[in-house]
Amino acid sequence: MKKIFAIFISLFILTTNFSLAKGVKRDFSSVINESGVEKNSISVSIKDLNTGKAVYELNEKLLMHPGSIQKILTLIPAIEVLGEDYEFSTEIYKRDNNTYLIKLGADPYLTSSDLAKLAGQMNFETTKKVLIDDSILEKKDWGEGWQWDDDMNVLMPRFNSYNLDRNLIRLTIMPTTKGNLATIINPSKYPLVFLNNVVTSDKNNVKVTRDNSISTNTLTLEGSVNKPVVISIPTNNLKRYFDIKLMNALADKKIYLKQNFIVDKKSPNDEELEKITHPISQAIDDILKNSNNLVSETTVKLAGGKKYEDKGTDINGIKVFNSYCEKMGLDNSRIRIVDGSGVSKNNLITSDFVTDFLVKNKDNQILEKLPSPGEGTLTHRMLPIKDNLKAKTGTLSDISSIAGFLTTKNNNKYAFCIIINDPSATSSDMKSLEDYLIRELYLKL
């Protein structure tokens, strides 16, 4: 009798779950049809976190541009290689009485103040040469398929071994008297030419453009200001910026070199004097919560360099991802990943693969650091379920995505992924649809 009762209960639960899933599918279809977002541009995969079985799917095998949810896929393999105790490190060595070497670590958090601290180790009376070891990363500023017209996008700065000050230059626009041109202040000393069309007026509205066909160092500023405005622009030559900042730090120490910095490699006999470090834990938070592209790309390349005892390159970073998929039994033969951050439109991923990846990594400590509503890129989204949701978002032109973990009202746990590639829909419409689908999932399953 007990056995029959147990079978009955199991059948009841299965029937109930099937009915719930069927209801969710009906509700989802209705919402999608009324959303104004093209149905064929939406890919959805929702899987039970314990069994890995799908409870709802729509175009789940369709290859889509993922945006920044791709950072989940590349970060976990990178941290496995680097280790959770890894530190970005920039070091200074003494080679002989008049020669010093700075070994770059491509630290995305290195600042001009850090550089000045390293320069402080040099003897102002004897220093004649300063060498730079920049061998940690390949000499490549952007990822494959990054768009040239994102040149002025502060969220997509160039990156390489010479990362410094987040690879951004800060300018201050100061109002003067009403009707007259504003004043532009460039404290970085990086050589820039300004075509200043900013007028002192009653409101702040400044636009900055750069026409590389004319000059990479000429900026056109237009608009108006009524109080000081601080703006950032991406550095267009990272090595030059680094060299200028280092030269300024040396000048503050009254060290004046008769020759430019020389690129060289660290020797085993070089004596370490000082190092500046920043923990990888800072990067994990920055990547998952703030979707930092510079930090993501650097971390993935560094992992590739460490694993294959070579320079950090796009190719080596992607090989780390491929190796991880093979180890975890994830079939990544249909998808395409070409960078670490998801910025490139050459990346193609399915929502089905993302949820498989999430299910396989459900106990991975890194994913505990995914933001909840109220944090990072979810600061203003889905706040009523902030204790039940952890997710990574993605946003590019024509692209919106979200993926992560949800604990429903009935305490059921799911991995989910929603990717939308619709050039005819607004970003707001796409994100509103994502939020509604997640809310329905929370309430109904």
Contact (Cβ atoms closer than 8 angstroms) between residue 380 and residue 435: no
CATH number at residue 413: 3.40.710.10
pLDDT of residue 24: 66
| Domain limit, last residue, from 255, 278, 301 | 278
**263 and 358 together in one domain:** no
Q: Which tokens sit at 165?
A: 């000050």
C-alpha distances (whole Å) from 199 to each of 152, 174, 418, 434 are 22, 10, 45, 42
User: 389-396 and 183-185 as β-strands: parallel, antiparallel, unpaired?
Assistant: unpaired
Phi and psi dihedrals of 200, rounded to 5?
-75, 120
**155 and 296 together in one domain:** no
State how far Cα 257 lies from the chain centre: 37
**157 and 303 together in one domain:** no
**105 and 251 together in one domain:** yes
| Domain limit, last residue, from 234, 251, 278 | 278
**106 and 235 together in one domain:** yes
**266 and 286 together in one domain:** no
pLDDT of residue 34: 83
Q: Is residue 59 part of a domain?
A: yes
Q: How many domains does the chain have?
A: 2
Q: Is residue 174 part of a domain?
A: yes
| Domain limit, last residue, from 239, 259, 278 | 278
pLDDT of residue 35: 84
pLDDT of residue 7: 40
Mean pLDDT per segment of 10 residues, for the chain of length 445 residues?
Answer: 41 45 70 88 97 96 98 98 98 95 98 97 94 97 86 93 98 95 94 95 93 84 95 95 97 94 96 98 98 98 97 97 98 97 96 98 97 96 96 96 97 98 95 95 91
pLDDT of residue 165: 98
Question: Which residues in 129-270 belong to E strands, given as ranges?
Answer: 129-133, 168-174, 183-185, 193-200, 205-210, 218-225, 229-234, 262-263
**53 and 112 together in one domain:** no
Contact (Cβ atoms closer than 8 angstroms) between residue 99 and residue 128: yes
**258 and 395 together in one domain:** no
CA atoms within 13 A on the CB side of 242: 26
SS3 100: strand
Q: Is residue 186 part of a domain?
A: yes
Nearby residues of 286 by Cβ (< 8 Å), 6 or more positions away? 292, 295
**32 and 143 together in one domain:** no
pLDDT of residue 327: 98
**63 and 142 together in one domain:** no
* Cα three-residue angle 385-391-395, rounded to 5 degrees: 115
User: Which range marks the domain in which residue 187 is found?
Assistant: 89-278
Tokens 């995505």 -> residue: 401
Task: Give buried/exposed letters for 91-104 (b at 16+ CB in 10 A, else e).
Answer: bbbbbeeebbbbbb
**264 and 304 together in one domain:** no
